[in-house]
């Protein structure tokens, strides 16, 4: 914090507003006293110029294409670390010592089972329900099954809820998948690592042996790591807003998952792969690029563009390498979807429209190709994103609750409806 001030002058008023300097990123003008002192609001739909909280978890420099978790760059974390270590880092602020890591892994591993009664809850859904519909329901229902970790004023209960969410999400998501394909639920195996256990719960069946490939488990772990947190995106802001009212952690995380589902956010990976399949062959690409540029056509290139990244998405780079590795391992060399993706990326990046608007492939552009090659249907892409992001949501939730200055989130509005008018009796209308 500094003594610098911004001066705002309007009508006959002049207000001095404090300026805060972050450790990285643009300065912030503190407008909290603006309404009280100046009787005006700021107007910023979509929050394009608004900082809604103070945070020490994740930093993004959209111009440089930089993503840091607690200061560590995502490409180093993706290549040298692993998901549970990144979870620890996001939650507690520092990389764990070997002993801390062992304890954390042990805690997560011992909470992977779901309450058995929850299997009946799954069975209440239609088999053809989108897995996200099931997951949002089951996450919210956790507050009905785990009452003993819903008191947010108790730090121990907060900790238990955090561990439960990270530990149980793979089981929740894998079971939504199993339910949708009519296969029996596979119970978690605590001898496997986090990603391998998830793959085992998704792809093993009681009738035969299934061995998780270490390369696929590594690729899965990398997908989890790359999606772990992304500062104040739409779903995380939803979690913070829900939490600001004092709602329990499971309800808050379910709210975040519901927001993530939209195609402009976590639903983009499913939409992107469906688009690549619809394009089908490289000769059709110019037609789709022309449609994306046409203002009268609502079509957008899914997996392109980002609110914050205006140079490149550092996660997309790592994801592209992973896609090559996974397809190599599986012996998939002439995958038409990948060919369309690579050529679409090349043509779009050469097109002045995309360059001028600073539209680059985002993390979702390549993740779908990997997940499809692993055997996941497109409907599972957003659930896997939700699984990965749970740690980000819960870390931000934890941070918000530990800030004594946090308040209920309550935006105001620029009202453009009718001013006051008297009620009109029905016989006098029209
Ligand atoms: N294809 C074509 N044009 C685009 C695209 C796209 N994918 N994205 C943005 N544009 C254009 C817009 O039409 C707009 O043009 P205009 O200035 O002439 O009106 C301009 O670029 C700016 O776009 P906005 O929508 O204003 O940018 P915003 O920051 O609000 O949106 C978003 C970002 C939602 C990600 C957008 O780029 C998009 O819809 N992309 C496709 C969906 C997608 O991939 N989402 C995943 C995001 S990453 C994530 O959640 C993991």
pLDDT digits (tens, 9 = 90+) for 52-87: 999 999 999 988 999 999 999 999 999 999 999 999
Nearest CA to ligand 1 atom 35: 306
Both 208 and 92 in a single domain? yes
The pLDDT of residue 138 is 96
Q: What is the pLDDT of residues 80-130, one digit of tens each?
A: 999 999 999 999 999 999 999 999 999 999 999 999 999 999 999 999 999
Both 134 and 257 in a single domain? yes
Both 72 and 35 in a single domain? no
pLDDT over 60 (residue 312)? yes
Spot the catalytic one: 163, 229, 306, 313: 306
Does residue 286 lie in a domain region?
no
Does residue 239 lie in a domain region?
yes
Q: Which atom of ligand 1 is nearest to the CA of 353?
A: 3
Does residue 113 lie in a domain region?
yes
pLDDT over 90 (residue 269)? no
For the chain, give the mean pLDDT.
94
Q: Which atom of ligand 1 is nearest to the CA of 385?
A: 51
**CATH number for position 9:** 2.20.28.60
Query: Which residues constitute the domain of residue 162?
Result: 66-263+378-401
Q: What does the pLDDT average to over 170-193?
A: 96
Does residue 420 lie in a domain region?
no
**CATH number for position 259:** 1.10.580.10
Q: What does the pLDDT average to over 45-52?
A: 95
Q: What does the pLDDT average to over 353-357?
A: 92
Spot the catalytic one: 44, 364, 406, 418: 364
Catalytic residue check, 283: no
Both 47 and 71 in a single domain? no
Distance, CA 362 to ligand 1 centroid (Å)?
Answer: 11
Distance, CA 237 to ligand 1 centroid (Å)?
Answer: 19
pLDDT over 90 (residue 317)? no
Both 44 and 71 in a single domain? no
pLDDT over 60 (residue 22)? yes
The pLDDT of residue 393 is 98
Q: In angstroms, rounded to a whole number, what is the distance separating the alpha carbons of residues 94 and 69?
A: 10
Does residue 388 lie in a domain region?
yes
Distance, CA 304 to ligand 1 centroid (Å)?
Answer: 7
pLDDT over 90 (residue 327)? no
Q: Is residue 323 very low, low, confident or very high in pLDDT (cuts 50, 70, 90)? A: confident
Distance, CA 288 to ligand 1 centroid (Å)?
Answer: 15
Does residue 294 lie in a domain region?
no
Does residue 278 lie in a domain region?
no
The pick from 268, 305, 319, 388 for probing ligand 1's pocket by mutation, whose C-beta has the most ligand atoms within 8 angstroms, reads 305
How many domains is the chain built from? 2
Does residue 146 lie in a domain region?
yes
Per the model's pLDDT, the better-predicted residue between 323 and 340 turns out to be 340
Nearest CA to ligand 1 atom 4: 300
pLDDT over 80 (residue 334)? no
Both 187 and 79 in a single domain? yes
Query: Across-strand partners of 73?
Result: 68
Q: Which atom of ligand 1 is nearest to the CA of 46?
A: 30
Catalytic residue check, 230: no
Both 99 and 151 in a single domain? yes
The pLDDT of residue 8 is 97
Q: Is residue 318 very low, low, confident or very high in pLDDT (cuts 50, 70, 90)? A: confident
Nearest CA to ligand 1 atom 8: 305
């Amino acid at each position: 914090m500094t003594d610098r001030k911004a001066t705002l002058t309007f009508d006959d008023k002049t207000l001095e507003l404090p300026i805060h300097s972050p450790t990285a990123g643009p300065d912030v003008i503190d407008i909290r006293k603006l309404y009280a002192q100046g009787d005006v609001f700021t107007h910023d739909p979509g929050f394009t110029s608004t900082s809604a909280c103070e945070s020490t978890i994740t930093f993004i420099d959209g111009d440089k294409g930089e993503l840091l978790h607690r200061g560590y760059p995502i490409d180093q974390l993706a290549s040298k670390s692993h998901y549970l270590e990144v979870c620890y880092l996001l939650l507690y602020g520092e990389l764990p010592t070997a002993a801390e890591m062992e304890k954390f892994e042990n805690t997560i591993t011992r909470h992977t089972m779901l309450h058995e009664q929850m299997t009946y809850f799954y069975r209440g859904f239609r088999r053809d329900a989108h897995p996200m519909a099931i997951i949002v329901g089951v996450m919210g229902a956790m507050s009905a099954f785990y009452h003993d970790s819903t008191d947010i004023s108790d730090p121990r209960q907060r900790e238990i809820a955090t561990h439960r969410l990270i530990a149980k999400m793979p089981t929740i998501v894998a079971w939504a998948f199993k339910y949708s394909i009519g296969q029996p639920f596979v119970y978690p195996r605590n001898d496997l690592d986090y990603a391998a256990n998830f793959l085992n719960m998704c792809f093993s069946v009681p009738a035969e042996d299934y061995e998780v490939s270490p390369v696929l488990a590594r690729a899965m772990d990398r997908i989890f790591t790359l999606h772990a947190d992304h500062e104040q995106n739409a779903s995380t802001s939803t979690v913070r807003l829900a939490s600001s009212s004092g709602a329990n952690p499971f309800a808050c995380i379910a709210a975040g998952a519901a927001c993530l589902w939209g195609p402009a956010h976590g639903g983009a990976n499913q939409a992107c792969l469906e688009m690549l399949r619809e394009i089908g062959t490289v000769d059709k690409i110019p037609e789709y690029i022309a449609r994306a540029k046409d203002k009268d056509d609502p079509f957008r290139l899914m997996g392109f563009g980002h609110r914050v990244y205006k140079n490149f998405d550092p996660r997309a780079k790592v994801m592209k390498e992973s896609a090559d590795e996974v397809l190599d391992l599986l012996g998939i060399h002439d995958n038409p979807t990948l060919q369309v993706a690579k050529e679409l990326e090349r043509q779009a990046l050469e097109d002045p429209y995309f360059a001028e608007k600073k539209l680059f492939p985002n993390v979702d552009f390549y993740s779908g190709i990997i997940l499809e090659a692993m055997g996941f249907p497109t409907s599972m892409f957003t659930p896997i994103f939700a699984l990965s992001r749970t740690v980000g949501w819960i870390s931000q939730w934890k941070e918000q609750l530990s800030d004594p200055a946090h308040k209920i989130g309550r935006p105001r509005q620029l009202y453009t409806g009718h001013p006051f008018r008297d009620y009109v009796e029905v016989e006098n209308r029209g």
